[in-house]
Amino acid sequence: MARTRQRLSDARFTMLLQLAVAVVGIVQSFLWRNRMDADGMSYVDVAYSYANGDWAGAVNGYWSPLFSWLIAALISVFHPSPASEFPMIHALNTLDFLLALVAFSFFVRQLFARFGDSGAEAGEWRRAWLTLAYASFAYASVTLQDVGRGGPDFLLAACFYCAVGLMLRVANGSGSSTLLMAALGAILGVGYLAKAVMFPVALVMLGCTAFMLRGTQNRWRNLIVASVAFGMIAAPWIAVLSQSKSRLTYSDTGKLSYAWYVDDAAINHAQEDAAHGKPSHPTRRLSTAPTIFEFGSPVRGTYPPWYDPSYWHEGVRVKPHLRLQLHRLALSAEDFLNQSWFYPGLSAVIALSLLAGAPAVRRALAGAWFVVIPVVSAFVLYSLVLVLGRHIAPFFAVGLPTLAFGIAASMDAASRQKNRAAAIVATALAAALAVMTLSQIAFIDRRLPDGRSHLEIARALHSRGVPGGSRVGVIGDSMHAYWAHLGRLRIVAEIWPDETARFWAQDEPTRRRQLELFRGAGATAVIADGIPSWADTAAWLPIGDGYRAYLMSAAPR
């Protein structure tokens, strides 16, 4: 009876933790409701291609399809106005976050089932470990991933949490039924559709499952079922993508990221050079003083170079280089060391290991190796190329509680003093993660500038005679030109931010000749930002928030 009351009490405590985490995530999403980032804008542009039936234009080798499919469905149903579009995307992202929370809760239940009954005292300290688990999820979601961003990160996280939970369920002796193995494979397939990195991680997880099933009845049948389910979800997209690229590929994201962040290739505007060869479809250079690039066709999107980077970089030569790879690994190690969770998390794991002793650490690793290996493999994959908080967030959220709780639950259950000390370590780490999570909301997200200025710029351009569907040029930051997307405008040529001062330093006749190059590229207006205070903008119209527009229709030829 006492144990039943304890479980009910723990269940209510868990619901309070889940509610608190959900509220924090929803608040962050609300604070971001009128803002977007460059990746999110590309996903939305791809979604519009799907919604408009432009299937060929929607398929590209860089952006995974699942998030854009969901946005396309919302567009087809609600037909959002420019003012409501970004809030709609954030509402979708919030639902993805809540889905990830549900999947994480499933993982936590299976993790506790794996280790929670290891000793007679395990239930007494359960709340400390529940708090640590959900604090890890909150930190990963709010501080590392950011619920306010528009992207597929939470879809991948939900799939990873659910897949790890299913693997734990198999290990817990709940059976390895055909249905359970099919679910595991299908979830991994959906994760791949969310983000391409899940493809190699899924192979690692299937390999771990195969090893975990050794000696069980119907091992090979169950493994085949999981693999076939994964293939049935992943293969159609691989086929479509491979046909589009005329070569076998599951994604170009990893290749391009390696080229950019290891091999030092240009991220935008790849041009022929000795190190990387000649791209098959480079953007066109119209001028060199300052450099003006044109990219009006054939790629769609608000900003074509970032709508499908795999098209513009097709043919770029990428080859492994030991010195460059070691340099990137050193930078990745530095990135890990600079993560705000790293030292508190490492200190807690070391403290728990010292409390528990080497045998307990070995028992913990033996009991959760199939969780640790996929986490480590994901860390290694990103370390080879680029470590960002949002990349490693779901693997951190799984890895830290698994290691910490597994070690504590594997220690001597008869030592009440050690169990209390372990619970104190867990509570201290949870408190540190909670403080960092709430600081993100209070000191960063709450002070974000109002993203509605981009909508106001789009409306100002419309009122100045630049209607939706127009082609425009940019002198400044095209990557974050959300006003162009909201105004349904298409950027076809640009001068990059680091060369804007060079443009404005020229005399008026020279600037006019360069603006004619924008006209030749099809631009009906050129929009400038980051304008130096000394620049002569007499011929430019103010359109808000430091932006000015040069209208080709009003300019002398």
| Cα dihedral: 72, 74, 80, 83 (round 10) | -90
Looking at residues 102-108, what average pLDDT do you find? 98
Banded pLDDT at 422 (limits 50, 70, 90): very high
For residues 31 and 451, give the distance between their C-alpha atoms in angstroms, rounded to a whole number.
Answer: 10
pLDDT of 119 reads: 42
530 phi/psi in degrees, rounded to 5: 60, 35
Looking at residues 416-421, what average pLDDT do you find? 88
The pLDDT of residue 244 is above 70 = yes
Most distant CA pair in the chain, distance: 89
Conformation bin of residue 267: beta by default, left when phi > 0, alpha when psi is -120 to 50: alpha
Looking at residues 382-387, what average pLDDT do you find? 96
DSSP 122: G
The pLDDT of residue 44 is above 90 = yes
The pLDDT of residue 159 is above 60 = yes
pLDDT of 198 reads: 97
pLDDT of 121 reads: 45
Half-sphere exposure of 464 (CA within 13 A, CB side): 25
CB atoms near residue 320 (< 10 Å) = 10
The pLDDT of residue 162 is above 60 = yes
Looking at residues 356-381, what average pLDDT do you find? 95
Report the candidate in 182, 205, 310, 173 with the shortest Cα–Cα distance to residue 255: 310
Strand order in the sheet with 490-495: 284-288, 291-294, 490-495, 471-475, 525-528, 547-551, 541-544
The pLDDT of residue 346 is above 70 = yes
Q: How far is CA 79 from the centre of its chain?
A: 26
CB atoms near residue 516 (< 10 Å) = 13
Looking at residues 254-277, what average pLDDT do you find? 91
Tokens of 515: 């603006």
Lowest mean pLDDT among 64-68, 431-435, 446-450: 446-450
| Sequence-distant contacts of 383-386: CB under 8 A, at least 24 apart | 383/328, 383/329, 383/332, 383/333, 383/336, 384/258, 384/262, 384/325, 384/328, 384/329, 384/332, 385/254, 385/257, 385/258, 385/261, 385/262, 385/328, 386/257, 386/261, 386/328, 386/332
pLDDT of 8 reads: 57
Average pLDDT, the chain: 92
pLDDT of 120 reads: 36
Query: ∠ CA(390), CA(264), CA(320), 5° rounding?
Result: 90
Report the candidate in 226, 240, 214, 131 with the shortest Cα–Cα distance to residue 178: 226
For residues 396 and 138, give the distance between their C-alpha atoms in angstroms, rounded to a whole number.
Answer: 11
Looking at residues 211-217, what average pLDDT do you find? 84
The pLDDT of residue 555 is above 70 = no
Q: What is the pLDDT of residues 495-515, one digit of tens each?
A: 999 999 999 999 999 999 999
pLDDT of 11 reads: 87
For residues 265 and 268, give the distance between their C-alpha atoms in angstroms, rounded to a whole number.
Answer: 9
Q: What is the pLDDT of residues 18-39, one digit of tens each?
A: 999 999 999 999 999 999 999 9
Which are the contacts of 256, defined by CB distance < 8 A and separation ≥ 6?
62, 309, 310, 313
Pairing state between β 284-288 and 525-528:
unpaired
What's the predicted TM-score (pTM) here? 0.95
The pLDDT of residue 79 is above 60 = yes
pLDDT of 319 reads: 85
465 phi/psi in degrees, rounded to 5: 95, 25
